[in-house]
C-alpha cells in the first residue's frame, strides 16, 4: 500500500488517541420477520387447540392414566429396550464381522445386513409370527447328527418372541452400519499406540477404540432408539398389546378415535423427550477431552441470555 501522508500515523500523542469505535452487529431483519411469523402461527395453533371442542381434552386426559393404556405403555417400553439391546449387540457383532479378514465371516455379515435392510420390517414381523408354517418343529442338535432338544415352533415363537426377533434383528442391520462408521472414525494411530504400549486386542477395543467411537455412535443410536419407540407400534399387527394396540382396543369399543390417538401421541412425545434428555447427557459424557462446545439442548438455548459481547466459542484444530 502506498502511504501518501507519512506524517499522520506517527504524530498521535497518547491524549488524542480516539475512542475505539463501537461495534454494531448486522441487523438481521429477515430473522425478525421469521420470528414474528412463527409466533403468530404458534398463537393460532394454541388457540384452536384450546377452543375447538372436538379435541375433547377431557377424554384425552381421562384415559391418560387408564390401566389398559399404562399396560400398553409398559409393553412398549419393554419392547423398545429389549429390541434395542438385541439391535446393539447384533450391530457390534456385524460391524466387527464386516471388518473381519476372513471372507466367509465378512460375507455372512454383509448378507445379514443386506437381507434385513432390504425387506420391509412389517413383512419380517409377520414372517417371524408365522414361522411355524415354514418350520413346524424347531430343534437343537448336531448338524447332520442327533437331535438334542426340540419343540413346536408355535409354543417357542410366541408373539412376543416374534416381535423381539423381528424388531431386534432388523435393528441390528442398521446399528451395524452406525457402529462401523464409529469404529472407522477412530484414528488408526490410536490402535497402534495402544498396541505399542502392550495392550491386547480386546483391551485396545474396550479402552481405546470404543470410547472414542461412541462419540460418533451415540447421536444416531439415540435417533434409532426414538424411532424404535414408535416402530414398536407396528407389532400391533401381530396382536402384541403394546400402547397403540391397547388404545385401538379401547376406541373400537367407545368410538373416541381422535381423543385416544391424542392420548397415545402425548405418551410417545413424553417418552421421546425423556430419551432425548438421556441422549444429551450420554453425548456429553463421551465428549470429554473435546474442546469444542457441546450442542446445548433446545430449552437451554432458548433460555440462554443473549450476551451482545459474547465471542464465538474458541475452536481448536483437532
Partner 1 sequence: MTATATPPMVEAIGVHKYYGSNLVVKGIDLSVTQGEVMCLLGPSGSGKSTFLRCINHLEKINAGTIRVAGELVGYRQHNDRLHELRDAEIATRRSEIGMVFQQFNLFPHMTVLQNLIEAPVLVRREKAAEARARARTLLERVGLADKADAYPRSLSGGQQQRVAIARALNMRPKLMLFDEPTSALDPELVGEVLDVMRDLAADGMTMIVVTHEIAFAREVADTVTFMDDGVVVESGTPAEVLGNPRHPRTQSFLAKVL
Q: How far is the CB of 284 from partner 1 (least distance, A)?
A: 13
Is residue 133 part of the contact set for partner 1 (CB under 8 A)?
Answer: no
Q: How far is the CB of 200 from partner 1 (least distance, A)?
A: 5
Query: Which range binds partner 1 by CB under 8 A, 18-26, 30-38, 135-143, 281-289?
Result: 281-289
If the CB atoms of residues 22 and 101 are measured against partner 1, the closer one turns out to be 101
If the CB atoms of residues 221 and 236 are measured against partner 1, the closer one turns out to be 221
DSSP assignment of the chain, as one string?
---S-HHHHH---GGGPPPPPPP-PPP-HHHHHHHHHHHHHHHHHHHHHHH-GGG-HHHHHHTTT-HHHHHHHHHHHHHHHHHHHHHHHHHHHHHHHHH-SSHHHHHHHHHHHHHHHHS-HHHHHHHHHTHHHH-SEEEEE-TTS-EEEEEEHHHHS-HHHHHHHHHHHHHHHHHHHHHHHHHHTS-HHHHHHHHHTT--HHHIIIIIIHHHHHHHHHHHHHHHHHHHHHHGGGGGGGT---HHHHHHHHHHHH--HHHHHHHHHHHHHHHHHHHHHHHHHHHHHHTTT--SPPPPPHHHHHHS---TTPPPPP----
Is residue 283 part of the contact set for partner 1 (CB under 8 A)?
Answer: no
Query: Where in 187-206 is the site for partner 1 (CB under 8 A)?
Result: 187, 189-190, 192-201, 203
Residue found by looking up cell 441390528 in the block:
172
Q: How far is the CB of 261 from partner 1 (least distance, A)?
A: 44
Query: Which range binds partner 1 by CB under 8 A, 21-29, 77-85, 152-160, 287-295?
Result: 287-295
Is residue 290 part of the contact set for partner 1 (CB under 8 A)?
Answer: yes
Q: How far is the CB of 211 from partner 1 (least distance, A)?
A: 5
Query: Which range binds partner 1 by CB under 8 A, 43-51, 77-85, 175-183, 185-193?
Result: 185-193
Is residue 103 part of the contact set for partner 1 (CB under 8 A)?
Answer: no
Is residue 212 part of the contact set for partner 1 (CB under 8 A)?
Answer: yes
Is residue 315 part of the contact set for partner 1 (CB under 8 A)?
Answer: no
- Interface contacts to partner 1, rule CB under 8 A: 187, 189-190, 192-201, 203, 207-208, 211-212, 286, 288-291, 316, 318
Amino acid at each position: 500500500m502506498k502511504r501518501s501522508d507519512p506524517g499522520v500515523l506517527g504524530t498521535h500523542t497518547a491524549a488524542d488517541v480516539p475512542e475505539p469505535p463501537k461495534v454494531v452487529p448486522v441487523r438481521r431483519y429477515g430473522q425478525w420477520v421469521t420470528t414474528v411469523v412463527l409466533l403468530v402461527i404458534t398463537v393460532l395453533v394454541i388457540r384452536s387447540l384450546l377452543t375447538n371442542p372436538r379435541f375433547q381434552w377431557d377424554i384425552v386426559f381421562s384415559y391418560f392414566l387408564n390401566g389398559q393404556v399404562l399396560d400398553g405403555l409398559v409393553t412398549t417400553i419393554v419392547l423398545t429396550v429389549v429390541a434395542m439391546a438385541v439391535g446393539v449387540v447384533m450391530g457390534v457383532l456385524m460391524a466387527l464381522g464386516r471388518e473381519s479378514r476372513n471372507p466367509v465371516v465378512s460375507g455372512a455379515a454383509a448378507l445379514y445386513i443386506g437381507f434385513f435392510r432390504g425387506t420391509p420390517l412389517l413383512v419380517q414381523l409377520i414372517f417371524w409370527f408365522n414361522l411355524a408354517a415354514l418350520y413346524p418343529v424347531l430343534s437343537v442338535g448336531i448338524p447332520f447328527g442327533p437331535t438334542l432338544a426340540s419343540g413346536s415352533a408355535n409354543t417357542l415363537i410366541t408373539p412376543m418372541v416374534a416381535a423381539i426377533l423381528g424388531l431386534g434383528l432388523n435393528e441390528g442391520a442398521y446399528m451395524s452400519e452406525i457402529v462401523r462408521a464409529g469404529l472407522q472414525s477412530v484414528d488408526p494411530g490410536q490402535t497402534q499406540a495402544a498396541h505399542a504400549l502392550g495392550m491386547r486386542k480386546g483391551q485396545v477395543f474396550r479402552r481405546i477404540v470404543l470410547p472414542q467411537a461412541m462419540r460418533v455412535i451415540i447421536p444416531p443410536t439415540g435417533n434409532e432408539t426414538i424411532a424404535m419407540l414408535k416402530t414398536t407400534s407396528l407389532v400391533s399387527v401381530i396382536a402384541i398389546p403394546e400402547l397403540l394396540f391397547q388404545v385401538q382396543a379401547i376406541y373400537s369399543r367407545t368410538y373416541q378415535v381422535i381423543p385416544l390417538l391424542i392420548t397415545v401421541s402425548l405418551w410417545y412425545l413424553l417418552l421421546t423427550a425423556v430419551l432425548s434428555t438421556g441422549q444429551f447427557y450420554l453425548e456429553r459424557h463421551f465428549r470429554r477431552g473435546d474442546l469444542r462446545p457441546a450442542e446445548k439442548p433446545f430449552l437451554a438455548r432458548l433460555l440462554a441470555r443473549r450476551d451482545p459481547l459474547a465471542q464465538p466459542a474458541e475452536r481448536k484444530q483437532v
